[in-house]
Amino acid sequence: MTVIIIAIVASICALLFAVYLARVVMAHDTGTDAMRSIAAAIQEGASAFLYREYLYIS
């Protein structure tokens, strides 16, 4: 019984830590215009790559 309680408490702590880290990351600045345009290009390329991968897999 104590192992289950420890597992539940540990999972709740992990979820709270994940929420904390997400808030810290989202609070940071997104960068300059050049950085944002590079990030958008990377995201577009990654989406195209995954689309092609899913076509070949299916």
Cα 33 → chain centroid = 22
pLDDT tens by residue, 4-41: 999 999 999 999 999 999 999 999 998 999 999 999 99
DSSP for 4-27 reads HHHHHHHHHHHHHHHHHHHHHHHH
Q: What is the model's pTM?
A: 0.60
Q: Which domain holds residue 43?
A: 2-57
pLDDT tens by residue, 32-48: 999 999 999 999 999 99
Q: How many domains does the chain have?
A: 1
pLDDT reported for residue 1: 84
